[in-house]
Structures are given as C-alpha cells and as structure tokens.
Amino acid sequence: MKILVTGASGFLGPHIHAALAEAHEVRGLCRNPTADWMVAGDVLDPAALAAAMAGCTAVVHAAGGVSHSQRDAGTMERVHVAGTRAVLDAAREAGVSRVIHVSTSGTVAVSRDPDFIADEDGPDVLPLVKGWPYYRAKLFAEQAALAAEGLDVV
C-alpha cells in the first residue's frame, strides 16, 4: 500500500512514517522536507496535493500547527479547516480509499466537570473551546473530515 502522510516533518510525521514504513511505501508532504521520503508542498496547494497523492491508496492527514494565541486564529483556521478540506478534495480526486484524520483530545475530552469521562458521544465542546484558536480549528476540521462524502474517513 502507498500512503501519503501530510505534515511529514512535524511532531507526529516522523513517528507515523516509522510505524508505517516497515510494511508500506510512505511518502510525506511538508513545506520543508528533511528526509528522502518527503516531498515539498503545502496542504493549501491543490497541485502539490494532487502530485503527492498520485498512486496513493491512503492518506494520514497530520499537517497543522499549534497556537493558543488569538493573533494566530486565522492561521489555525486556514491550516486546519481549509487544509483539511483541501486534503479531502484531493483524496477524492485521486481515488484514495481511506483518509485517517489526526485530530486532538480537545475535540472530545474537555469539560468543566472533573469527573467527566469523555467519548465521541459527549456534549458539544464548542462552548468550551471557542476561545482557543487551535482547539476550535481542530474541532471544525474534524467535523469536516467526518462529514466528507465519497471517502472512508476515520
């Protein structure tokens, strides 16, 4: 299986590569490649996504950044939400059979109740995370991924 990992040079990318590379052919997409398995590109660039996904059967979408500063809210929105939508669109166009969307605990595991046990069926977390640009963007990105039509997304 040929798998594309977005965010290949980030915090998770090299670990994802290491876990997959023994059994699969792995290509990484990142803005600044640091290894021979990586190609240069941005998740907001449809041409770069199309080229990176060519021949892939799965995508692990782990690209993004982390900031809790309000001044970075626009960047978090572009990278996480628009970037996720672009990856989903490119995957659909490329005929990719599965997209693994990497999210964060801030989309389900938050509560003001210290005894809260989180799962995907818990209450809407937006009222708690709306002031945190990273968590808000990851929540909207996850919602977009899970609502994607024509793709097998987890």
Predicted local confidence at residue 38, as pLDDT: 98
Between CA 60 and CA 36 the distance in angstroms is 18
Q: Give yes or no for residue 121 having a pLDDT over 90.
A: no
CB-based contact 135:129 (threshold 8 Å): yes
pLDDT tens figures, 39-97: 999 999 999 999 999 999 999 999 999 999 999 999 999 999 999 999 999 999 999 98
Residues pairing with 28 in the sheet? 5, 38
Q: What pTM does this model have?
A: 0.94
Do the beta carbons of residue 68 and residue 133 sit within 8 Å? yes
Report residue 133 CA to chain centroid gap.
16
3: β partners: 26, 58
C-beta of residue 80 within 8 angstroms of C-beta of residue 72:
no
Q: Give the Cβ contact number of residue 82 at 10 Å.
A: 16
Q: Are 107 and 81 in contact (CB under 8 A)?
A: no
